[in-house]
Structure 1
Amino acid sequence: MKRVHRVLVTAATALAVVAVPSAALASPEKADRSGLRKGLDDITANGAVGALMEVAGDGGVWRGTSGVAALGTTREMPARGRFRVGSITKTFVATVVLQLVDEGWLRLDDTVEKWLPGVVPGGDRITARQLLNHTSGVPDYRRTLPMPPTPEFEADRFRTWSAIELIRRAVAQAPTSEPGLEYAYSNTGYLLLGEIIRKVTGRSYAEEIERRIIEPLQLSGTFLPGTSSRIPGPHPHGYIPVQRGDETQLVDFTKMNPSLMGAGGEMISTTKDLNRFMAELVGGRLVPSHLLDEMKTAGVEGRKYGLGLQWQDTSCGVRMYGNDGDALAYQAWSFTTQDRRRQVTIALTPDFRGDPDDAVEALLDEAICG
Structure 2
Amino acid sequence: MTLALSLSTAVAVGVLAPSGMSAAASPDVVQQGLNALVRTDGVPAALATVRDGRGRTRDYTAGVGDLATGARVPADGQVRIGSNTKTFTAVVVLQLVGEGKIDLDASVDAYLPGLVRGEGVDGRGVTVRQLLQHTSGLADYEGQLDEASLRYRYFEPRELLDMALRQEPVFAPGARFGYSSTNYVLAGLIVQRVTGRPLAEEIDRRIVRRIGLRHTYFPAVGDRTIREAHPKGYRRDSASGPLTDFTELDPSAGWAAGQMISTNADLDRFFTELLIPDRLLPAAQLAQMRTTVPVGDTGIGSGLGIFSRPLSCGGVYWGHGGDIPGYETRGGATDDGRAVNIAVTTVPADDAVTRHLEAVVDTALCR
Instruction: Name the residue aligned to 2:203.
Output: 209
Instruction: Name the residue aligned to 2:31.
Output: 37
Q: Which moved more, 1:134-143 or 1:31-40?
A: 31-40
Query: 1:220 aligned to 205, 214, 224, which one?
Result: 214
Matches within 5 A, 1:154-303: 154=149, 156-227=150-221, 228-243=223-238, 248-284=241-277, 285-300=279-294, 302=296, 303=300
TM-score with structure 2 length normalisation?
0.91
Q: Could you tell me the percent identity over the aligned residues?
A: 39
1:116 corresponds to 2:112: yes
Instruction: Name the residue aligned to 2:146.
Output: 146
Take 1:99 and 1:351, find their aligned partners in 2: how far apart are those partners?
32
Instruction: Name the residue aligned to 1:317.
Output: 314
1:61 Cα shift?
1.3
Contact 1:332 1:347 in 2 (8 A): yes
1:101 Cα shift?
0.2
Q: Secondary structure at the match of 2:270?
A: helix
Take 1:215 and 1:254, find their aligned partners in 2: how far apart are those partners?
26
User: Amino acid of the residue matched to residue 76 of structure 2?
Assistant: R
1:29 Cα shift?
4.1
Instruction: Name the residue aligned to 1:8.
Output: 6
Q: Which moved more, 1:356-365 or 1:156-165?
A: 356-365
Query: 1:62 aligned to 58, 61, 77, which one?
Result: 58
**Pair 1:92–1:28, CA change in 2 (3 A):** closer
**Pair 1:91–1:24, CA change in 2 (3 A):** same
Contact 2:234 2:246 in 1 (8 A): yes
**Pair 1:353–1:164, CA change in 2 (3 A):** closer
**Pair 1:71–1:180, CA change in 2 (3 A):** same
The aligned length equals 354
1:129 Cα shift?
0.4
Instruction: Name the residue aligned to 1:25.
Output: 18
Q: Secondary structure at the match of 2:188?
A: helix
Contact 1:49 1:351 in 2 (8 A): no
Query: 1:47 aligned to 42, 56, 59, which one?
Result: 42
Q: Secondary structure at the match of 1:87?
A: helix
Contact 1:161 1:260 in 2 (8 A): yes
1:9 Cα shift?
5.4
User: Amino acid of the residue matched to residue 313 of structure 2?
Assistant: C
**Pair 1:301–1:169, CA change in 2 (3 A):** closer
User: Amino acid of the residue matched to residue 181 of structure 1?
Assistant: A
TM-score with structure 1 length normalisation?
0.91
